Amino acid sequence: MTDADTFAKLQAEMRACTLCLDAGYWVQPPAVTQGSHRARMMTIGQAPGITEVEAGRPFNAGSGKRLFEWLGRAGIDEDWFRSTQYMTSVTKCYPGRQPSGSGDRVPSRAEQKLCQTFLDRELALVQPEVIIPIGRLAIALFFNNKLKLTEIIGTQMQIENNAWVIPLPHSSGASRWHQLQENRALIDKAVDLIAGHYHRLFG
Ligand code: SF4
């Protein structure tokens, strides 16, 4: 089986997955991911929102507009990135609204665990050289959860397989962190780091 076949099989498995529903969690499949198994850069978000499910692509609407404004400043074109790189999330299905109604529900640890096998397989198959975790949940996959975002954003870390991890804050309008004036310089630093790797990888 070629890598392309293995990738297509994984995508089909994710889209058909009902593990969370079977375990009694409210989620709205199908899984939302986008991109190529030949990607050298990978973004990992928290979970898709309803507009992502409707559009069938991650980081649609406002969160995507802001994310691609940041990546655009690193020289990255949105259409190019979406078609040649890879975009996924910690959990792949829409988790619904918070009980309070303000913003989307954060997937539980149990749901994250159920979906972890897919993320492990995506990372093993794509083997990205640059990983961009976006938001607390994805950042916690790589960085100590006790660190504040102000200690993490604007830094990079190399992991075992030599991939570079460059975190970004959650880019949704509901998140206030990226809107604070004092945090903008940290986002600029992260954008510069991403730009450096983008030019190293793609010239
Ligand atoms: S979030 Fe992940 S584990 Fe849960 S149903 Fe969707 S694809 Fe399956």
Q: What angle do CA 59, 126, 192 make, to 5 degrees?
A: 55
Question: Which amino acid residue places its CA nearest to atom 3 of ligand 1?
Answer: 115
Is 80 exceeded by the pLDDT of residue 173?
no
What spacing in Å lies between the alpha carbon of 3 and ligand 1's midpoint? Answer: 22
> What's the CA-to-centroid distance between 151 and ligand 1, angstroms?
31
For 115-160, what is each residue's pLDDT tens digit? 999 999 999 999 999 999 999 999 999 999 999 999 999 999 999 9
Q: How confident is the model at residue 163 (pLDDT cuts 50, 70, 90)?
A: very high
CA distances from 159 to 6, 18, 108, 129 (A): 24, 31, 25, 10
Pocket of ligand 1 (CB under 6 A): 14, 17-20, 27, 29, 31, 91-93, 111, 114-115, 118
- Give the number of the atom of ligand 1 that is nearest the alpha carbon of residue 107: 1
Q: What is the pLDDT of residues 13-50, one digit of tens each?
A: 999 999 999 999 999 999 999 999 999 999 999 999 99
From 113, 118, 119, 120, the mutation candidate for ligand 1 (largest count of ligand atoms within 8 A of CB) is 118
pLDDT at 130: 98
pLDDT, tens digit (0-9, with 9 covering 90-100), for 77-99: 999 999 999 999 999 999 999 88
3-state secondary structure the chain: CCHHHHHHHHHHHHHHCCHHHHCCCCCECCCCCEECCCCCEEEEECCCCHHHHHHCCCCCHHHHHHHHHHHHHCCCCHHHHHHHCEEEECCCCECCECCCCCCECCCCHHHHHHHHHHHHHHHHHHCCCEEEEECHHHHCCCCCCCCCHHHHCCCCEECCCCCEECCECCCCCCCCHHHCHHHHHHHHHHHHHHHHHHHHHHC
- Looking at residue 152, its pLDDT comes to 97
Q: CATH code at 23?
A: 3.40.470.10
- Average pLDDT value for the chain: 96
Domain that holds residue 60: 3-202
Dihedral, CA of residue 198, residue 89, residue 37 and residue 168, to nearest 10: 0
pTM of the model: 0.97
Provide the domain count of the chain. 1
Residue nearest to atom 4 of ligand 1 (CA): 20
Q: Is the pLDDT of residue 61 over 90?
A: no
